[in-house]
């Protein structure tokens, strides 16, 4: 997989800037850190921010899902050209690349994303809530 570097910051930031509806919480310093830590993949018009867990524990504060050391989490996945199949292709390659459990969380109201995760073979693993329970979400596992 192609890991992006700090030299790719402007391109990576454009993915988030173009998708503010779903990623309003992402800040420039956050992206710079992820790039510096090697946690951003950029391939075929698809961006994935991810990391490998260094410990076993809950995936969030308000959740019923526990991840294990060595599992991966995808924080964000964004396709430049939605609907062209590139996200499915790159995500499946990513699953093969890490070759272990991959988790991600998504807001329940993000219906297109939830349909997409089901389509690529992920299974609902549990729930997660943010904002003191006011924002409901689902934890997916592959």
pLDDT per residue over 59-110, tens digit each? Answer: 999 999 999 999 999 999 999 988 899 999 999 999 999 999 999 999 999 9
- pTM exceeds 0.85 for this model: yes
Residue pointed to by tokens 């549990």: 126
Token pair for 33 = 């850190």
Residue pointed to by tokens 């993915």: 15
Q: What is the pLDDT of residues 16-51, one digit of tens each?
A: 988 888 888 888 999 999 999 999 999 999 999 999
CB-side neighbour CA atoms (13 Å) of 59:
29
Q: Is 142 exposed, middle or buried (0-12, 13-18, 19+ CB in 10 A)?
A: buried
86-118 exposure pattern, b = at least 16 Cβ within 10 A, e = fewer: bbeebbeebbeebeebbbbbbeeeeeebbebbe
Contact 71, 101 (CB under 8 A): yes
């Amino acid at each position: 997989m192609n890991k992006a570097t700090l030299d790719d910051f402007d391109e990576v930031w454009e993915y988030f800037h173009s998708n503010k509806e779903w990623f309003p919480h992402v800040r420039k310093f956050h992206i710079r850190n992820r790039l510096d830590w090697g946690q951003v993949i950029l391939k075929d018009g698809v961006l994935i921010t991810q990391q490998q867990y260094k410990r076993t524990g809950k995936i969030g504060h308000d959740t019923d899902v526990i991840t294990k050391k060595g599992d991966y989490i995808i924080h964000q996945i964004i396709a430049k050209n939605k609907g062209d199949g590139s996200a499915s292709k790159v995500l499946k390659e990513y699953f093969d690349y890490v070759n272990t459990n991959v988790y991600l969380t998504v807001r329940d109201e993000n219906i297109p994303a939830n349909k997409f995760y089901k389509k690529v073979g992920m299974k609902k693993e549990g729930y997660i809530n943010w904002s003191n329970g006011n924002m409901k979400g689902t934890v997916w596992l592959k």
